[in-house]
Amino acid sequence: MRHFTDKQALLDAFASRDGSLVDADMTFIHVEGVDLSGMNLAGANLSGGVWCDIHLDGCDLSAVHVVESRLTRVDFRGARLEGALFQRVDMTQCTFERVEAGEASFFLSKMSETPFCHAKLIKAQFLDTTLDQADFTGADLSLAQMRESSLAGTRFISCDLRGVDFRKANFHHAVYRHVCTDNALYYGKPPWGGEAIPGRDWVQELPMFDGE
């Protein structure tokens, strides 16, 4: 596995003539301590690699592919991640605050303790993903999919959860305050109790099922 610790060396290896990393094939490489803040990596493939102590804040990462990689202390703050795919990715101490990740997909990944504060995650998919103690404070998760994901101790504060599919998710000790939950799907009793939408009596609401 090729190892890069210098930004210029990485660009020399993978950048196009205009200096961007659009559609770059950066598979099966080890990148450590490189600052790529604000760069265009749209459509790039970062699969099968190791990325550690990386700055990707403010980057265009739309439609990026990350499959079976390990990401440690990667900063995605403010990045564009629309349509991105993360599958079987092990993420440790990464941050996704203020990302724009509409219709992004996070499948079978490990993202415990990840901050998604004030992120735009409309129609994002978190399927069978570990999000224990993640923080979604101020995030817009409307119409997102969170089926079969682990949300133990996850914080949903001032969130838009309208239309979110929570079926088969693990809600153990998840925290909900000031959340909007119209048309959310879940099994059993509402996991947010009476804290969702002040003045609405959730105890009288019927849980929604799809026959599964």
pLDDT tens per residue, range 134-154: 999 999 999 999 999 999 999
3-state SS of 141-185? CCCCECCCCECCCCEEECCECCCCECCCCECCCCEEECCECCCCE
Q: Which residue has the tokens 């490189």?
A: 34
Give the global pTM: 0.89
> What phi and psi values does residue 114 have, to the nearest 5 degrees?
-80, 130
**201: confidence class by pLDDT, cuts 50, 70, 90:** very low
Residue 186, token pair as written in the block:
């879940």
For residues 87 and 208, which has the higher predicted lDDT (pLDDT)?
87
- What are the DSSP calls for 21-74, one per residue? -TT-B--SEEEES-B-TT-B-TT-B-TT-EEEEEE-TT-B-TT-EEES-EEEEE
- Per DSSP bridges, beta strands 105-107 and 29-32 are unpaired
